[in-house]
Structure formats: C-alpha cells, structure tokens
C-alpha cells in the first residue's frame, strides 16, 4: 500500500468547488474519475482545502492510498493526460501512510486579487474582482492589523457554515500593489466558510470609506455576520499554498 500526495492547480471557474457534492461537478470528481481510468480502481481523494465554487488553486494538496505500482511520473502524466486543461497535477510524491492532507496542514495561504481598471482585461477576468474606484490603502492596512492573531471569526463566516469552532489564527494579512492589481495575501491555521472573501469584502468597504476607522474591531468583537461587509466574488480568490 502506498500513500500518494498530489499538488494540484486548477481554474475553478466551471466547477462547484473542490469537494464532491450531489448534482454538481467538483474538481474532486474529475480527478477521481481520472484516477479510476488510469489505475482501474476507485480511489477517494482527501483534499487539504474545500475551495468554494469559482475559487482557484495554485497549490491544492490531496492524497490517496493505492495498491497500484505505477511509477509516480506515470501517475502524474497519466492523470494530466485524462484531465481537462483547466486542471493540472503539478507533482505526485510518496508520503507516510498516516499522512492526511487536511489534518496535517499547519497553515493555508490564499491570495485575493483585485483589478483597479475597467473594463477588465479578458486575460484576467476569471481571476480578479474589478474594483475600479480609488481605495484608501492606508486605511485598509490599518484596519487589517486588527484581524491578525487568534480570534473568534464568527462575524466573517457564512451564515450556513457548519463549523462549530469559529476560532482561527491569522498569521499574515498583507496588501500589495502590482501595477493595476491589488493583492491581499492571507495565511492562517484554517478558515471558516467564505471567511477570506468576507474579510476582503469588509476591507474593501473600509477602503471605499463605507466603514469608518475602528469598524473592523467592532465587527470582530460583536460576532455578527450582518455587521461585516459583503462576500467578495469567488473569482478573485486562489489557494496558493498549503504548508505542512
């Protein structure tokens, strides 16, 4: 028996997210179907992050156990041969039998990208959220510092979240400008349902002047989703790396 770790990249535009769901097409379904075609056996992938519909990944991680003796290069290349062009297996590696992609993860690093000009270039439209209005970047940076550290993020989770423990530890939250792009880089020990996108929607509200200084601290303290900003569009979010 072998335990194989896959690093996967995908454009999530046409999928219902990573995790298999009834009556929808998920990335997990596509990769598992490719595995079955390659090995002749059904395998269940364990994904590190449950990216939502429309969210992308540069460094999603999944593992599966198999009795197949195919070399790792054959697994990677065979999977890619069967996969659609918007899903790519970057590499395949052996890991310990007790390795678990989700539970062994130490942190997850996401990037949310904003495009500051309208119309959005067709080269970027699936991967950015358009915010052509001028934002107060200094105010965003000041307010974002409140979110660093270990907190109850109830105010920033989706109303239908099933997570019983809303406490998470954000290690990094940075805003960077690169030409017409604004990149929000956020890394934490884990995230609640739509937590990243709600944080971004709230901070954009700060940048537009809709939320005054001190608002983020109050939102965090009150633990009410209704106080936070709107959930930012999924297309601007990408899972960059899972750290172990």
Q: How confident is the model at residue 172 (pLDDT cuts 50, 70, 90)?
A: very high
Domain end, chosen from 95, 126, 147, is at 95
Query: Residue 141 falls within a domain, yes or no?
Result: yes
**Has residue 23 got a pLDDT over 70?**
yes
Catalytic residue among 11, 52, 77, 189: 52
Instruction: Kindly state the average pLDDT of the residues 149-177.
Output: 91
Does residue 162 register a pLDDT over 70? Answer: no
Overall pTM > 0.85: yes
129 with 163, same domain? yes
Residue 152 annotated as catalytic: no
| pLDDT score at 160 | 73
Least confident of 56-60, 99-103, 110-114, 129-133: 129-133
> What is the CB neighbour count within 10 angstroms for residue 149?
10
For residues 89 and 129, state if they share a domain: no
CATH number, domain with residue 64:
3.30.70.580
CATH of the domain at 123: 3.30.70.660
Q: What is the domain count for the chain?
A: 2
| Residue 101 in domain | no
Domain that holds residue 140: 109-243
Mean pLDDT (whole number) for 168-182: 96
The whole-number pLDDT of residue 21 equals 87
Inter-CA distances, 138 with 43, 145, 148, 204, 218, Å: 48, 11, 16, 12, 19
- Decide if 233 is inside a domain: yes
Clarify whether residues 122 and 207 are in a common domain: yes
Q: Do residues 151 and 217 share a domain?
A: yes
Residues 205-225 have pLDDT tens digits of: 999 999 998 999 999 999 999
Query: Residues 17, 20, 26, 30: is their CA dihedral positive or negative?
Result: positive
Percent with pLDDT over 70 in the chain = 99
The pLDDT of residue 187 is 98
Same domain flag for 79 and 163:
no
Burial track 64-101 (b if 16+ CB lie within 10 A, e otherwise): beeebebeeeebbebbeeebeebbebeebeebeeebeb
Identify whether 199 is part of a domain. Answer: yes
140 with 90, same domain: the answer is no
Q: For the stretch 203-237, what's the b/e string if a residue is b when 16 or more beta carbons lie within 10 angstroms of its beta carbon?
A: bbbbbbeebeeebbeebbeeeebebbbebbbbbbb
Residues 3, 71: Cα–Cα separation, whole Å: 13
Indicate whether 235 belongs to any domain. yes
Q: Does residue 82 share a domain with residue 10?
A: yes
- At 243, list the tokens: 């750290």
pLDDT value of residue 108: 98
Whether 104 maps to a domain, the answer reads: no
Over range 78-97, report the average pLDDT: 97
């Amino acid at each position: 028996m072998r335990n194989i770790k896959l690093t996967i990249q995908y454009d999530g535009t046409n999928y219902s997210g990573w995790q298999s769901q009834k009556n929808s097409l998920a990335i997990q379904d596509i990769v598992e179907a490719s595995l079955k075609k390659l090995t002749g056996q059904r395998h269940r992938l364990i994904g590190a992050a449950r990216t939502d519909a429309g969210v992308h990944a540069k460094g999603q991680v999944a593992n599966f156990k198999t009795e197949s003796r195919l070399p790792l290069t054959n697994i990677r290349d065979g999977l890619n041969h069967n996969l659609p062009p918007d899903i790519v297996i970057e590499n395949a590696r052996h890991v310990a039998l007790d390795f678990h992609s989700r539970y062994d993860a130490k942190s997850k690093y996401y990037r949310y990208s904003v495009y500051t000009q309208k119309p959005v270039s067709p080269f970027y439209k699936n991967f950015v959220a358009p915010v052509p209005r001028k934002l107060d970047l200094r105010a965003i940076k000041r307010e974002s510092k409140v979110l660093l550290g270990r907190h109850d993020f109830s105010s920033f989770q989706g109303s239908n979240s099933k997570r019983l423990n809303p406490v998470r530890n954000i290690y990094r939250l940075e805003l960077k400008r690169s030409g017409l792009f604004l990149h929000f880089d956020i890394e934490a020990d884990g995230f609640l349902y739509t937590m990243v996108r709600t944080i971004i929607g709230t901070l954009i509200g700060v940048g537009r002047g809709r939320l005054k200084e001190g608002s983020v601290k109050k939102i965090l303290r009150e633990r009410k989703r209704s106080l936070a900003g709107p959930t930012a569009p999924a297309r601007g979010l990408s899972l960059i790396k899972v750290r172990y």
